[in-house]
Homo-oligomer: A and B are copies of this chain.
Amino acid sequence: MALLSPSRRVRRTPFSDGVEAAGVKAYTVYNRMLLPTVFESVEADYHHLKRHVQVWDVACERQVELRGPDSARLAQMLTPRDLRGMLPGRCAYMPIVDETGGMLNDPVLVKLAEDRWWVSIADSDLMLWIKGIANGYRLDVLVDEPNVSPLAVQGPKAEDLVARVFGEAVRSVKFFRFGLFPFEGRDLVVARSGYSKQGGFEIYVEGSDIAMPLWDALMAAGEDLGVRAGCPNLIERIESGLLSYGNDMTDDNTPHECGLGRFCDTQTAIGCIGRDALLRVAKEGPVKQVRAIAIEGDRVPGCDRPWSIVAGGQRVGQVTSAAWSPDHGTNVAIGMVRMTHWDPGTRIEVETADGMRSAVVQPGFWA
């Protein structure tokens, strides 16, 4: 692995002191902010995440706040998902598309009130798009980045740990809903969500001053649960089919290509900027789509660029994320495959950095 030079531009988070004290071994840069990627090792972190509970510094999931009378209209302009039925207290995963239907981001939308929303973004400066649209359409709305840093608690023992710190009532929060729970005299948004399939919560920490106190409180309360500092885990997220914007999809892709067609209410999402383009896609269907792929043989190297998928001498797609899965005894991967070769069981070849490998399109992800 290469070294990462320090600079202010690659921002630290309010939890960085805790992350360093916990012995972080590597980072990536996400929304120009440090995101840990390894503590003990990717595999050791994976086993621990699936059995115990981890606290993740995901402050890099920056929030874009929409506030004001036109905020609901603006939110609907961004996405083909129909937001009309969404109530305050709910979260919604939403594809964000440009006028061509290309994916600009895939955030979680948090509806705080009828006229106040947080867009919890993946890795692109989505605020610039939202501000540009708000300005161009002269909407009566305020768009900015509040000082909110999410902290995730993930793993099978996450509910027990979060209940110890925020109280038993947190157990009744349903999936993709949130409640307000007090910590050191401040009410924090605590949502049942997170970038793993192991269960857990995301706490939207407002203000940097209570960030390390909350980190320390979770670590202290979870000692007997085996709590550790952790981070989104490459192996677990591939097994679980959690796509990563910038890795598995870019602005070249429509939501339908990303398997996100179920979040596109193209008929009823009136006002969505990409609706015209997506109406056509929704009708015809995509010609390539995301698939789970098992790559045979030994452990694959790190996937730091698209690996071509080949069949019958033709390029029929690309793999964009891959890792060895100890629990499944195979290399698990995410790729985009042309419709001629996307049926489960189709044998393909993947051009990894170590050479060609046999691979098989899977019926679904592993979790």
Q: Does A26 contact B (CB under 8 A)?
A: yes
In chain A, positions 112-145 with a C-beta closer than 8 Å to chain B are: 123-126, 128-137
Q: Does A314 contact B (CB under 8 A)?
A: no
Nearest-CB residue, chain B, relative to A245 = B9
Nearest-CB residue, chain B, relative to A20 = B2
Task: Tell me which residues across on chain B come within 8 A of A34, comparing CB atoms.
Answer: 2
Q: Does A262 contact B (CB under 8 A)?
A: no
Task: Tell me which residues across on chain B come within 8 A of A134, comparing CB atoms.
Answer: 136
Contact of A28 with B8 in the complex, beta carbons under 8 Å: no
Contact of B246 with A123 in the complex, beta carbons under 8 Å: no
A10 and B28 in contact, given A4-B2, A128-B104, A133-B132 (Cβ under 8 angstroms): yes
Most buried by B among A12, A26, A245: A26
| Nearest CB in chain B: distance from A309 CB, A | 14
In chain A, positions 284-328 with a C-beta closer than 8 Å to chain B are: 302-306, 320-321
Question: Of B26, B129, B247, which is within 8 A of A132 by CB?
Answer: B129
Contact of A28 with B2 in the complex, beta carbons under 8 Å: no
Q: Does A37 contact B (CB under 8 A)?
A: yes
Contact of B32 with A123 in the complex, beta carbons under 8 Å: yes
Task: Tell me which residues across on chain B come within 8 A of A130, comparing CB atoms.
Answer: 132
Copies in the complex: 2
Q: Does A3 contact B (CB under 8 A)?
A: yes
Contact of B26 with A4 in the complex, beta carbons under 8 Å: yes
Q: Does A163 contact B (CB under 8 A)?
A: no
Interface size class of A (residues with CB under 8 A): 35 or more
Contact of B1 with A28 in the complex, beta carbons under 8 Å: no
Task: Tell me which residues across on chain B come within 8 A of A137, comparing CB atoms.
Answer: 136
Q: Does A59 contact B (CB under 8 A)?
A: no
Contact of B133 with A12 in the complex, beta carbons under 8 Å: no
Contact of B8 with A321 in the complex, beta carbons under 8 Å: yes
Complex: A28 Cα to B137 Cα, angstroms: 36
Complex: A320 Cα to B133 Cα, angstroms: 31
Most buried by B among A28, A130, A136: A136
Question: Of B7, B37, B38, B306, which is within 8 A of A28 by CB?
Answer: B7
Question: Of B26, B126, B303, which is within 8 A of A128 by CB?
Answer: B126
Contact of A135 with B8 in the complex, beta carbons under 8 Å: no
Contact of B244 with A5 in the complex, beta carbons under 8 Å: no
Pull 8 A–B residue pairs with CB atoms less than 8 Å apart, ordered by A.
A1-B4, A1-B6, A2-B34, A6-B302, A7-B244, A9-B247, A125-B128, A129-B131
